[in-house]
Amino acid sequence: MSFKIVVIGTSLGGLSALKIILGNLPADFLVPIAIVQHRHKESNNTLQELLQESSSLPIREVEDKEEILPGHIYLAPADYHLLIEPGHFALSTDEPVSYARPSIDVLFESAADVYTQQVIGVILTGANQDGKQGLKKIKAQGGLTIVQEPTTAESDVMPEAAISAVAVDWILTLSDIASQMVKLCHSSRK
């Protein structure tokens, strides 16, 4: 069983959380990672630059219809929903979901629709409930679900909401999330 994508959702406190996870991934981590980090719609490329300092994998903001490549980390651009379609991404300016655009739910639900049980969904620190429905859908489609241990999150609202809504597969600290991702994705290589 090989995984096609890892989707990560985070909000308040997400930058430092993502730096730890991405910094702990090896340079040969091949499963693409798509990230929704809630941020101000005026925000520029700083998120990409700050995360790139921590990671040996190439990080980029998604452009519409961009192909999904192995070994890359993709960021939802500010003020766009990020959706997954077979083999590529799509961007949308539809209404915000859970007051957010990009919405974690939108990314997670589209990933579950396309890749069903070949998705790993990860919810990190955040101060709202976004991601809960999307994680539920990934689980319902047979994908795997990981949530940051709420007591280690800068804001525990998002992890708590996810845990209350979904029978999560793993509840882990940030460094353990990285090693679990490596374990799952490396063992799935044929």
Strand-pair partners of 37: 10
Instruction: Please tell me the distance from the alpha carbon of residue 146 to that of residue 162, in angstroms, as a whole number.
Output: 10
What's the CA angle centered on 115, arms 110 and 121, to 5 degrees? 70
What would you report as the CA-atom Rg of the chain, rounded to the nearest whole angstrom?
Answer: 14
| 186 contacts: CB under 8 Å, gap ≥ 6 | none
Looking only at the bridges linking them, the beta strands covering 88-92 and 81-85 are antiparallel
Report pTM.
0.96
The reply to whether 38 belongs to the active site is: yes
Q: pLDDT by residue (tens digit) across 83-135?
A: 999 999 999 999 999 889 999 999 999 999 999 999 999 999 999 999 999 99
- Report the alpha-carbon distance of residue 15 to residue 52 in Å, rounded: 11
For residue 176, the surrounding DSSP H or E stretch is helix 174-187
Report the pLDDT value the prediction gives residue 186, as an integer from 0 to 100: 83
11, 98, 110, 155: which one is catalytic?
11
Q: Is the pLDDT score of 75 beyond 60?
A: yes
Is 40 assigned a catalytic role? no
- Residues 143-186: tens digit of each pLDDT: 999 999 999 999 999 999 999 999 999 999 999 999 999 999 98
Query: Which of 98, 130, 155, 156 is the catalytic position?
Result: 130
Q: Which of 38, 105, 155, 156 is flagged as catalytic? A: 38
End-to-end CA distance of the chain: give it in Å, rounded: 9
* Residue 115, helix vs strand vs coil: helix
Q: Check if 186 is active-site.
A: no
For residue 66, what pLDDT is reported?
A: 97
Confidence of residue 187 (pLDDT cuts 50, 70, 90): low
